[in-house]
């Protein structure tokens, strides 16, 4: 079962949920405030095998404000 990432549009909490693909866009309450205004996010990933990128991008950096090569820290 895939792991999907969501954000609550009310309290801005980001949370992950294991759900079937058919339920990915079905309404889901926020895990923090139980609000119904949530939205699925696009999650980025990078897979390597033997030092070679096999999925995603080796330069999967986000905006210029990101220091770790991902936007986890800045939320973009």
State pLDDT tens for residues 10-40: 999 999 999 999 999 999 999 999 999 999 9
CA 43 to each of CA 3, 34, 52: distance values in angstroms, whole numbers, following the listed order: 10, 22, 21
**pLDDT of res. 57:** 60
Question: Does residue 60 lie in a domain region?
Answer: no
**pLDDT of res. 10:** 97
Question: Does residue 27 lie in a domain region?
Answer: yes
Averaged pLDDT score across all residues of the chain: 80
Question: On the CB side of 11, how many CA atoms lie within 13 Å of its CA?
Answer: 11
Strands 52-55 and 47-49, by their bridges, are antiparallel
Q: What percent of the chain has pLDDT over 90?
A: 51
The more confidently predicted of residues 59 and 8 is 8
Question: Does residue 66 lie in a domain region?
Answer: no
Range(s) of the domain holding residue 26: 3-44
Number of domains in the chain: 1
Question: Does residue 53 lie in a domain region?
Answer: no
Question: Does residue 73 lie in a domain region?
Answer: no
8 A C-beta contact, residue 13 and residue 31: yes
For residue 8, the domain's CATH number is 2.20.28
Question: Does residue 58 lie in a domain region?
Answer: no
**pLDDT of res. 52:** 79
CA–CA separation, 69 vs 61, rounded Å? 4
**pLDDT of res. 59:** 52
Question: Does residue 14 lie in a domain region?
Answer: yes
């Amino acid at each position: 079962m895939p792991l999907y990432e969501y954000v609550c549009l009310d309290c801005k909490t980001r949370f992950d949920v294991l759900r079937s693909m058919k339920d990915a866009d079905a309404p889901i309450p926020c895990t923090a405030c139980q609000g119904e205004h949530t939205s699925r996010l696009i999650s980025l990933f990078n897979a390597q095998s033997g030092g070679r990128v096999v999925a995603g991008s080796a330069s999967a950096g986000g905006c210029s404000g990101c220091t770790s090569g991902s936007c986890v820290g800045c939320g973009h």
